[in-house]
Chains A and B, each alone.
Chain A
Amino acid sequence: MKGKRLKSVSYAKYGYIFSIPFVLAFLIFTAYPIFYTAIIGFTDLKGLGKTDFTILENPFHNFQLILKNPSFQRSLQNTAIMWTINFIPQILLALLLTAWFTNQRQKLRGQGAFKVLFYMPNIITAATIAILFSTLFGYPMGPVNDLFKMLGLANEPINFLLDKWTARGIIAFIQFWMWYGQTMIVLIAGVLGINPALFEAAEIDGATSRQVFFYITLPSLRTIMLFTLVTSLIGGMQMFDIPKLFLNGGPDNATLTVSVFIYNQAFSGSYLYNRAAAASMLLFIIIAILSGILFYLLRDKDAIKAKKEMKKLRKAQAAARRAEA
């Protein structure tokens, strides 16, 4: 007995030892830079190549300026707008395709090929896609303008990228086009994880495909859909490559996102590292709140499960006691 305990103690140290590389790399390359960024947010650090700084008399000066900055407010709005017009159609299309692909009565052929093609844009470099789309929507000549001419939708070439809403719409479309395949695959995996007995029971009860989808599939996917929602929201807050390279935030800041704002503050113009750092911290707070929600959603489920198990156990014990009595 004593020997066994000693043994387990001696192995436990390897848990710590094997975690050292991760912890060290995390501390050096993530934790310390976040801390450093936070500090810079309270200082006067600006100018190309500068690294020395002093804390401002009013340490929150940068934060106040950023919160009042119209471009920053604009970037938050843009991020929200572009995320919304991408996400709603994305989840609806993904759900529709999920319903079709998992319909047992009417099996579609070529599902594997469709999945491969729908997911494909997701794996292509976003930088390339941004420049490809700005070329496709080129003015005065470009493939989309040619298409409009061919279809008789326009006589004169249209400069799509000058219009704020068109520019936002194209970015939202690119995001939609890159991500609906991924969302669909995730949802299909979710459906495959549902207890088949539920579907069998519905079949026996004579439920239609529509009823099965709305009363069994959709409620069972709730957690996965919430997960998709929150991860997409966090991903949307970080949108950088596409707005940066598509129109560099233009026209008139209509596609400026928070990440592009941070980059432009710090690495162009007058290199305002301190303002960019303050904006980064605000972004961090928003993402932390969103992550907190996600974390809660994922943890809660396990806790509820455990609670239910305990309840069952207690009930069974009580029943057994009663039976004995």
Chain B
Amino acid sequence: MKHEPIAGRAITRTIKYIVCITLAILSVIPFWIMIMNATRGTYEIQQSAISLLPSTFLKSNFQVFEGKAFNPLVGFMNSFIIAGGATILGVYFSSLTAYALVAYQWRLRQPFFTFIMAVLMIPAQVSGIGFYQFMYRIGWTNSYFPLILPAIAAPAVVFFMRQYLAGALSVDIVNSARIDGAGEFYTFNRIVLPIMKPAMATQAIFSFVGSWNNLFMPLILLTDKSKYTMPIMVSLLRGDIYRTEYGAVYLGLTLTVLPLFIVYFALSKYIIAGVALGSMKE
């Protein structure tokens, strides 16, 4: 076996660590500056916009938001309701669809799966105009339904669930439930769903984050300020009212990111594993 000289190996190792640490810092530093500036006063930020240490203006920055359109608490609640509803519906019905694809032999099974693969990539933008007009006609603009109900048909989630279930479901379990006289729907809810828990958890995280971060659909459907979601609230920070309130802008951005940071660092293990799993489309 060929070995590079010891000194050379030490150098390459050092280079690798330097690159990785630099990239890690690059991931963190914009957010770090943002969080620090959220606690600093406008005058301080004007003097020097970079600080690695916090200051004492957090409270006065908060006061800037009083009586203005940017309301992080409202945005948080609205996004929570929409993302929560969409996640529950999406994960449950995708599991049900995946079960239909794995457990039963029916004639349209393979065509249906091929169809799901084919529509995997259709983005909201291509149907947005028709969707808006449709919702406007039935009076559903400024309603949460058009942001929650479409989650019932989530092709990517179905795809992932099917792959998982195909490996995890044993026919014996289903058959023994049948012998015990359980109905098909009961079997799915009481026996199959618990088997799918790990996959459901992974998909729940991604569905929730995806729905939480979505800007396009809420932006075209919601015009009532009390219905705004977090990403729309954020977009208000570009407005002129905040042009000179640097500290408040950073604070607003921080408030929208904080819940995601908490979720991410609490569940990072599962999220990274989920990203890796999602890649193996076999």
Contact = CB atoms under 8 A, between A and B. Distances in A.
B130 A33 contact: yes
B235 A117 contact: no
A73 interface: no
Given A193-B280, A241-B216, A266 B132 contact: yes
Contact of B130 (A23, A113, A188, A277): A277
A306 interface: no
B9 interface: yes
Interface in B226-282: 230-232, 234-235, 237-238, 246, 249-250, 253, 256-257, 260-261, 264-265, 268-269, 271-272, 275-281
A133 B108 CA distance: 49
Given A123-B260, A143-B49, A37 B117 contact: no
A37 to B, nearest CB: 3
Interface residues of A, number: 107
Nearest to B279: A186
A238 B149 CA distance: 22
B130 A125 contact: no
Contacts of A112: 269, 272
B130 A25 contact: no
A134 B276 contact: no
B73 interface: no
A245 B49 CA distance: 21
B112 A19 contact: yes
Given A30-B153, A33-B131, A36-B134, A127 B106 contact: no
Interface string B129-147: 1111110110000000010
Size band of the B side of the interface?
35 or more
B104 to A, nearest CB: 3
Nearest to B187: A14
Contacts of A34: 122, 126-127, 130
Interface stretch (B58-66, B91-99, B195-203): B91-99
Contacts of B28: 117, 120
Contacts of B150: 25, 29-30
B34 interface: yes
Chain B contact residues, majority secondary structure: helix
Interface in A1-48: 8, 11-19, 21-26, 29-30, 32-40, 45
B181 interface: no
Contacts of A33: 127-128, 130-131, 134
B106 A118 contact: no
A74 to B, nearest CB: 17
Contact of A259 (B49, B105, B125): B125
A26 B9 contact: no
Contact of B238 (A15, A134, A150, A294): A134
B23 interface: yes
A177 B1 contact: no
Nearest to A23: B153
Contact of A126 (B128, B184, B215): B215
Given A117-B27, A131-B253, A16 B17 contact: no
Nearest to B174: A11
Interface stretch (A82-90, A283-291, A308-316): A283-291
B7 interface: no
B235 A131 contact: yes
A287 B136 CA distance: 26
Contacts of B33: 136, 143
Contacts of B78: none
B16 A100 contact: yes
A292 to B, nearest CB: 9
Interface string B103-128: 11111110010000111111101111
B125 to A, nearest CB: 5
Contact of A280 (B121, B125, B281): B125
A24 B27 CA distance: 42
Contacts of A128: 231, 234, 253, 256-257
B212 interface: yes
Interface string A211-248: 00000000000001001000100100110110011000
Interface in B162-193: 184, 188
B153 A29 contact: yes
B209 interface: yes
A16 B20 contact: no
A223 to B, nearest CB: 9
30 contacts: A8-B105, A13-B106, A14-B184, A18-B188, A22-B97, A22-B153, A24-B153, A25-B153, A30-B119, A33-B127, A114-B23, A117-B28, A120-B28, A123-B209, A123-B260, A125-B215, A131-B253, A135-B246, A143-B49, A186-B278, A189-B276, A189-B277, A189-B279, A245-B234, A266-B128, A266-B132, A284-B126, A291-B120, A294-B121, A295-B117
Query: Nearest 4 pairs between A and B by C-beta?
Result: A36-B130, A37-B130, A15-B104, A15-B106
